Amino acid sequence: MPELPEVETIRRQLAPLVEGRVLSLLEIADPRWCLPLAPEVVVDAVAGRRIERLGRRGKYLVWELADEVFLIMHLRMTGTLLYDPPPGTPYGRVRFGLDDGHELRFCDPRRFGTGELALGPAARDAFFAARLGLEPLDGELTGAALRRMARGRRAPVKAFLLDQRRIAGVGNIYADEALFRARIHPLRPAGALTGAQWEGLAQAVRETLLAGLAAGGATIDDFRHADGVAGAFQDEFLVHRRQGEPCGVCGTPVVKFVAAGRGTYACERCQPRPRVRRRA
């Protein structure tokens, strides 16, 4: 699934191409995309409006349109937003026409991606307040903030990192990579981490996301840039999807196990597994 660096890569590519243009046409071929709203309602609200800014919050892409109308997209598992895709590009669900003759196509083989409408900044803020926590690259992500949120929580730290209501934009790839950089085992109970470990983890999350962004995101299955090019961060993974390969720090083979319900990768020498507490 595209995570923060992938969505931000698309945003940075598209922003200069769409900002200041008019969204002259919106064609919703798959009405499931904007449920519970009917496609006509979304089209009526956005078509013909000037695109003031293409923004991002967590893994959401936000079209900020004239008169404070916001179209909020989530790419989910397999969604890509392509600029002037070649004819015959499959799985198109939504077409965005610009007043300069160019177009964008939202292609999404598994059809989990969504488009939602917020009318006015208060509606937009309420939408995100209900769904998203700290924005990790905005300076809000500190060890102290994480430690406060995790106090008393026994869930594994990996589950904590994946919870979008705490930190927005981190998914399975960046959680594994950040925990490895911070030398913390994914199954450690979140509430048991020390202040120094939270500081290290906050820094590791930022560094990992920035490294992903610098590589144009990761392409494992479907993620593509707006011009159809794949990201390269998968070539730089330290542990994610590297089961059996030697850890770059200590040479111990990387192991795979399930944490927070997700396939998880770690070096159990650099990231010692928490001891199971036994009853006396």
Footprint on this chain of Zn ion (rule: CB under 5 A): 247, 249-250, 252, 267, 269-270
Question: The tokens of 67 are what?
Answer: 């008169």
CB closer to Zn ion, 89 vs 252: 252
The minimum distance between CB 270 and Zn ion, in angstroms, equals: 3
Nearer to Zn ion, 92 or 274 (CB): 274
- Tokens of residue 77, six digits: 């598992």
Q: Where are the alpha helices (DSSP H) in the chain?
A: 4-18, 39-46, 121-129, 143-150, 157-162, 172-181, 195-214
Query: Is residue 256 among the annotated active site residues?
Result: no
For Zn ion, the closer CB: 41 or 249: 249
Query: With the CA atoms of 148, 153, 157 and 162 taken in that order, what torsion angle do they form, in degrees rounded to the nearest 10?
Result: -80
- CB nearer to Zn ion: give 227 or 245: 245
Rounded to 5, what percent of the chain is helix, strand, coil?
A: 30, 25, 45
Catalytic hit among 50, 153, 183, 262? 262
User: Shortest gap between Cβ of 128 and Zn ion (angstroms)?
Assistant: 37
Catalytic, out of 49, 56, 59, 158: 59
Residue nearest to Zn ion (CB): 247
Whether 3 is a known active-site residue: answer: yes
Residue 95 bridge partners (DSSP): 27, 105
Q: How far is the CB of 113 from Zn ion (least distance, A)?
A: 37
DSSP string, 79-120: -EEEESPPTT-S-EEEEEEETTS-EEEEE-TT---EEEEEES
- In the bound complex, what is the minimum distance in angstroms from residue 255's beta carbon to Zn ion? 10
Active centre residues (catalytic): 2-3, 59, 262
